[in-house]
Amino acid sequence: MDPLVLGALVAVMTILVLFSGVSVAIGLLIVSAGFLIIFDGVRSLELMPEILFGKLDNFALLSIPMFIIMGASIASTRAGADLYEALERWMTRIPGGLVISNLGACALFSAMSGSSPATCAAIGKMGIPEMRKRGYPDGVAAGSIAAGGTLGILIPPSVTMIVYGIATETSIGRLFLAGVFPGLLLVGLFMAWSLYSTWRSGNTELLATGSYTWAQKFEILPRVLPFLAIIVGVLYAMYGGIATPSETAAVGALLCLMIAMIVYKLWNPRDLWVVLRDSTKESVMILFIIAAAGVFSYMLSSLFITQAIAEWIGTLDVNRWVLMGAVNVFLLIAGFFLPPVAVILMAAPILLPIIITAGFDPIWFAVILTINMEIGLISPPVGLNLYVINGIAPDISLRTILTGSLPFVACMVIAIIVLCLFPGIATWLPDAVMGKIP
């Protein structure tokens, strides 16, 4: 069978298997085993255990559970509420300061937790009721938090970036740095739209300012600054050459647990058990997908599907930006139905050779891919963040949440266009800090 036809058949079967409701990892293993048996014989399965466990034999993978513990320990406390309250007190005199506070809190909490759903839950529990109480439209209140939560997979430290780095053998340090300015760009676009939509509502009371004393502003900082100091310390240790990403993640996880215990009195063994239990579940899920994706990639390569696709793309006489547009459409559609980790592990090994051949920077492409995955988090039918927000505010209809999120999807599309026009937004900081790749 022609490898391209076989590749199309694999794609269709993968979609059908994943839509059946099985977990992503099990689905990838089923498809891989099935096609290997049919086209290479039963003996080809002898290599599957070696590939499965070999994919996990990577010291860099240790950073994934460590960063997840780091985020879980923060999410299990009032850190999100305190962060939101601190920003509200300091930005209260800025017109529309409440929605800016929410988005700023989402950006900072994302940097601390690296998790989009955790950011939505932590900031949304405080931010959405407060914005609604002050008269902000439900769409702005829900949409801003849903969109702000997506920043968790872009602003470092990001588990998604770690997975991309491992899947493509790209420097994790460079990927983290590449997400900084695009993350700030998205925050700026989100804030601009939120202020505009609030002003357009015509309710001047929404822009009314409150008042806090200097004592009230400073009293909350001791509960917030330690976590921010840890993030700065982790990044400094990583880029200062003091430690590897895995080592800094381990130290960061330990310090976050200690601060959660000391500052927020997280002494109850049951609470600590919940943090470790949930972190272990999420880590195992991600690592299992990584291992299964390794087998899936081996199957594609063994059947010459990957090579045939790359060769076919190389023979197309199209502008490279047309090619990039097609890649973006593919990533958007995939992100609508699959979690970011699954899309990256399945698509990156196939897309990266194509991207490099077309003359695009793989670090820059990681940011483009991540923003596409962010769009998937607030788009139906999966749209995880939409359901998190609906769980926090069940009296706001899912349709209202979706409608409120759509302008932020447009902001992300604008960000992708801006990054295509000015790729240095993503690549300048990694090159400045770590030097240009020859």
Query: What does the DSSP assignment read for 102-163?
Result: HHHHHHHHHHHH--HHHHHHHHHHHHHHHHHHTT--HHHHHHHHHHHHGGGGTSSS-HHHHH
First and final CA of the chain: distance in angstroms? 40
Q: Which of 435, 365, 372 is nearest to 175 (CA)?
A: 365
Tokens of 54: 């070999």
Q: What is the pLDDT of residue 94?
A: 65
Q: Taking the CB of residue 313, how many other CB atoms lie within 10 A of it?
A: 19
Q: What is the DSSP letter of 423?
A: T
What pLDDT is attached to residue 42? 84
> Which residues have C-beta within 8 Å of that of residue 1, sequence separation ≥ 6?
9, 39
Calpha distance 79→58 (Å, rounded) = 32
Does 381 sit behind a cis peptide bond, omega within 30 degrees of 0 on the bond before it?
yes
Q: What is the pLDDT of residue 96?
A: 62
Give the tokens for residue 237.
């240790």
- DSSP structure class, residue 318: S
Query: Contact at 8 Å (CB) between 276 and 260?
Result: no
Residue 414: per-residue pLDDT: 94
Task: Produce one character per residue of 222-261: b if its CB has 16 or more CB atoms within 10 Å, e if not.
Answer: ebbebbeebbebbbebbbeeeebbbbbbbbbbebbbebbb
Helices 320-337 + 362-377 axis angle, to 10: 40
Predicted TM-score (pTM) of the model is 0.80
10-residue mean pLDDT series, the chain (438 residues):
82 82 84 87 83 81 81 75 75 69 79 73 78 78 85 80 85 88 91 80 58 78 78 75 79 83 81 85 84 83 76 74 86 80 81 84 92 85 77 83 88 93 92 78
- Cβ within 8 Å of residue 419, ≥6 positions away: 182, 185, 364, 367, 368, 371, 425, 426
CA distances from 171 to 23, 349, 366, 417 (A): 29, 15, 11, 24
Residue with tokens 């929605």: 99
Contact 346, 293 (CB under 8 A): yes
For residue 248, give the nearest of 179, 172, 178 by alpha carbon.
172
Instruction: Tell me if 117 sits within 8 A of 385, measured CB to CB.
Output: yes
Predicted confidence at residue 411, as pLDDT, reads: 92
Q: Which residues make Cβ contacts (< 8 Å) with residue 230, sequence separation at least 6?
A: 112, 252, 255, 256, 259
